[in-house]
Chain A
């Protein structure tokens, strides 16, 4: 495929950054959730 380099770069940056944000959010959420009782969480 022509120009494969830039195309791969675009997609890897897009998917990679989304995945990083998702994982970072989940990790931080897990650690904080341990310190807050369930009855305080509006979504549970």
Chain B
């Protein structure tokens, strides 16, 4: 029998991976807007009155931070649903996990770009101000969440434990933020230029920043869809591989 005929019981396999027309559109849009943002950030916008050229880092930093928080919220909501909607637990769990994976990346980028910006503007790579410190704790919390997802346990157990963690994080982060605000207020710091919004941007600069948010959000959506589908494949491979092997064995037995 020729190899192109599917074995009995198995469907046609194909090589399209996790892409669909929808993701291709999102991907192309993301690339297009991102290109515009980069070109505008480097060539069309002028240096800021106060920060100088270092504002060009802001066009990457602010969107990255925004997406990181978006990812955090997505993970929390998906985790909530995965605990409540028991018949779709694993589906929601995969979205929660994918969102956290991508979120960790964006949060890391926010911290790195913020640190580089700080070095240029304040002269130091780090400040113990409330927003930065809370962001750092959020990052560490994410990393812990991902560590729990990598455990060697059943998908159901993984889903449950990490969902509880994600929801606890929703409680934890405001508490951390509040106590750090109180803590730092003890030191009576003069209000420091912080990387997230005290800067006045208008006109083209504001539009570029907004475009950056759009571009990074599109990238986030694209990445989460693909990673969630990838996880589905990983989970399926565990079961399907077994099914195909069993089907192959059955065929063997009949032919013999």
Contact = CB atoms under 8 A, between A and B. Distances in A.
A–B direct touch, CB within 8 Å, in complex?
yes
B222 A22 contact: yes
B102 A43 contact: no
B12 interface: yes
A43 B64 CA distance: 28
Interface residues of A, number: 34
A7 B10 CA distance: 53
A29 B11 contact: no
Given A13-B109, A37-B11, A7 B56 contact: yes
Interface in A9-41: 9-11, 13-15, 17-18, 21-22, 25-26, 28-30, 32-41
B105 A10 contact: no
Contacts of A3: 52-54, 120
A44 B15 contact: no
B interface, over-half SS: helix
Contact of A10 (B19, B34, B52, B61): B61
Nearest to A42: B232
Contacts, number: 121
Interface residues of B, number: 49
Given A17-B109, A30-B17, A40-B236, A6 B223 contact: no
Interface string B236-256: 110011001000000000000
B201 interface: no
Given A17-B109, A44-B20, A25 B223 contact: yes
A1 B60 CA distance: 17
B15 A39 contact: no
Interface of B: 10-20, 34, 38, 41-42, 47, 52-54, 56-57, 60-61, 64, 102, 105, 108-109, 112-113, 116-117, 119-120, 219, 222-223, 226-227, 229-230, 232-234, 236-237, 240-241, 244
Interface of A: 1-4, 6-7, 9-11, 13-15, 17-18, 21-22, 25-26, 28-30, 32-44
Given A7-B54, A7-B56, 8 more contacts: A2-B47, A3-B120, A13-B112, A15-B38, A18-B219, A21-B105, A25-B18, A43-B20
